[in-house]
Chains A and B, each alone.
Chain A
Amino acid sequence: MSVHFTREHEWISVDGKVGTIGITDYAQKQLGDVVFVELPEIGAGVRQGEQAGVVESVKAASEVYAPASGTVSAVNESLADNPGLVNADAGGEGWFFKITIADPAELAALLDEKSYQDYLGTLD
């Protein structure tokens, strides 16, 4: 299992062909209280770097981009009633959706944990 990050603050945890996707703790802190998450439909195709969902805080809506291409295999149903899970545990219980990864080679374009932390250090 490995975890990769985007510069747009999504993470993807990879276990074989299955990728679990969410937003990072940094992202949830920036957003503040999450009140609504719009997720893709199961069976839908997502493409790396393209919009796959929306996360809304009290103040604003932000797009969520797919860290890798694939087919959506599951969505986190708990977020419908309890979007605050994203704030409470962005890297765990607050996951957004899972995909069957189309091309594992795409993951090479993402950041590892250390590179992502270094990247955060460069933001204000």
Chain B
Amino acid sequence: MTAPLRRTPLHALHGELGARMVPFAGYEMPVQYQGIIAEHAHARTKAVLFDVSHMGQAILPIEAGAALERLVVADLAGLETGKVRYSVLTNAEGGIIDDLMIVHGGYYLWLIVNASRKEVDFAHIAAHLPEGQALTPKPDLALLALQGPAAADVLKRFAPAAKLMLFMTSETLRIGDVKCAVCRSGYTGEDGFEISVPADQAESLARMLLDEPEVMPAGLGARDTLRLEAGLCLYGHDIDEATTPIEAGLAWTINRRRREEGGFLGDETILRQLVEGPARRRVGIRFEGRAAARTDAPIVDAAGRTIGTITSGSFSPTLQAAIAMGYVAAESSKPGTAVAALVRGKPVPGEVVPLPFVPHRYVKP
């Protein structure tokens, strides 16, 4: 028995824009409008607007930072007002419960989590909060992502301060006459903004941004190829409860203090792997041809021995070749290692390459 699919506040607009809708994480979501390749190319050259309102948003009082710090690998004590952190919630075995964004909003922490994990995450966090502190889910907030090299020029027309923000910072901005919580962040490898807006004003904001000549709507199809090219993990594919942040190449999310002190779930396993190295690692693989190795395809070495598994794979519109991420035995994880993936039973040759496949273009200080 499947529950009826939920809809985002932009559902009617998606229909009007000619989206093809698909089920995703319990929601009816647009997978594409014009076409994945056109939308992907537009995000790399101009700007696209994604509806990511299916993602979970919640607020914690700032005092709950200490309790949340025991559940994530990020240094929240060192997180300043207006800063945004990408982190992971870990379990006692060091596996990843979810990846998330944590925003310091002054007197509160604002969390953005994956749609497929929000119930699990929120229950997990709530269960670890001390008496008197509560997590407040915000289902009444929509989330839009404006991504691409033209995103800042577009947004500054409505909110001049947007152009001055640095990557991974957050501000409350009035966009037109809508008050929004805005992060300069995203999951495409491009510059961009993620905009949290009251559900009842999401459509007017989306229409306003889509009216700009540089902006076209993009769906989950392009979102997936963009994040794959950017070497970013998709929860449930590239990371899960049986994968540690060290195996996943997310050691950079653990700063010096947290490495020295630990104090998060699974710290023993994670900090040991940090020192000794994990038995397997997430790698990028670039294939010679266009045939894509997709999730669960076995990875074999030059001798034909199975050394791992693909977790995400697709044709890369930017590179015009098939690319994938997957896990391989640590000794086979060096860039330059010749590997193959079994696609429909046949080996497709490729090579381990450094991530990201396509360089990030964030606005850094």
Contacts of B31 in A (CB 8 A): 59
Contact, CB under 8 Å: A36 / B35: no
In order of increasing CB-CB distance, the 6 nearest A-B pairs are: A35-B315, A36-B290, A33-B37, A58-B36, A36-B291, A33-B35
Q: How far is the CA of A29 from the CA of B76 in the complex (A)?
A: 47
Q: Residue A42 at the B interface, CB < 8 A?
A: no
Q: Residue A67 at the B interface, CB < 8 A?
A: no
Q: How far is the CA of A92 from the CA of B170 in the complex (A)?
A: 52
**CB within 8 Å of B: which of A1-59?**
32-33, 35-36, 38, 54, 56-59
Q: How far is the CA of A56 from the CA of B321 in the complex (A)?
A: 13
Q: Residue A83 at the B interface, CB < 8 A?
A: yes
Contact, CB under 8 Å: B36 / A33: yes
Q: Residue A61 at the B interface, CB < 8 A?
A: yes
Contact, CB under 8 Å: B314 / A58: yes
Contacts of A54 in B (CB 8 A): 291, 344
Residues of A within 8 A of B (CB): 32-33, 35-36, 38, 54, 56-61, 83, 87
Q: Residue B292 at the A interface, CB < 8 A?
A: yes
| Binary A-proximity of B308-348 (CB < 8 A = 1, otherwise 0) | 00000011010000100000000000000000000010000
Contact, CB under 8 Å: B344 / A56: no
Contact, CB under 8 Å: A32 / B294: no
Contact, CB under 8 Å: B225 / A35: no
Contacts of A61 in B (CB 8 A): 292, 294, 344
Contact, CB under 8 Å: B315 / A58: yes
Q: How far is the CA of A57 from the CA of B289 in the complex (A)?
A: 14
Candidates B38, B221, B315, B317; contact of A56 at CB < 8 Å: B315
Q: How far is the CB of A58 from chain B (nearest CB, A)?
A: 4
Contact, CB under 8 Å: A36 / B315: yes
Number of inter-chain CB pairs below 8 Å? 44
Q: How far is the CA of A65 from the CA of B112 in the complex (A)?
A: 44
Q: How far is the CA of A61 from the CA of B292 in the complex (A)?
A: 8
Q: How far is the CA of A36 from the CA of B266 in the complex (A)?
A: 43
Main secondary structure of the interface of B (DSSP, over half): mixed
Q: How far is the CB of B344 from chain A (nearest CB, A)?
A: 7
Q: How far is the CA of A57 from the CA of B315 in the complex (A)?
A: 8
Q: How far is the CB of A54 from chain B (nearest CB, A)?
A: 7
| Binary A-proximity of B270-293 (CB < 8 A = 1, otherwise 0) | 000000000000000000011110
Q: How far is the CB of B296 from chain A (nearest CB, A)?
A: 13
Contacts of A87 in B (CB 8 A): 35
Contacts of A58 in B (CB 8 A): 36-37, 221, 225, 314-315, 317
Say whether, besides A58-B37, A58-B315, A32 and B291 are in contact (CB < 8 Å): no
Say whether, besides A32-B221, A35-B315, A36-B315, A56 and B292 are in contact (CB < 8 Å): yes
Say whether, besides A56-B315, A59-B221, A36 and B32 are in contact (CB < 8 Å): no
Q: How far is the CB of B258 from chain A (nearest CB, A)?
A: 38
Contact, CB under 8 Å: A36 / B292: yes
Contacts of B221 in A (CB 8 A): 32, 58-59
Contacts of B292 in A (CB 8 A): 35-36, 56, 61
Q: How far is the CA of A8 from the CA of B82 in the complex (A)?
A: 54
Q: How far is the CA of A38 from the CA of B221 in the complex (A)?
A: 22
Contacts of B289 in A (CB 8 A): 36
**Residue ID in chain B nearest A37 by CB atoms:** B290
Contact, CB under 8 Å: B37 / A56: no
Contacts of B32 in A (CB 8 A): 32
Q: A35-B290, A61-B344 are in contact. List 15 more A-B contacts (CB 8 A).
A: A32-B20, A32-B32, A32-B35, A32-B36, A33-B36, A35-B37, A36-B315, A56-B291, A57-B36, A58-B221, A58-B225, A58-B317, A59-B36, A61-B292, A87-B35
Contacts of B38 in A (CB 8 A): 33
| Binary A-proximity of B35-69 (CB < 8 A = 1, otherwise 0) | 11110000000000000000000000000000000
Q: How far is the CB of B266 from chain A (nearest CB, A)?
A: 34
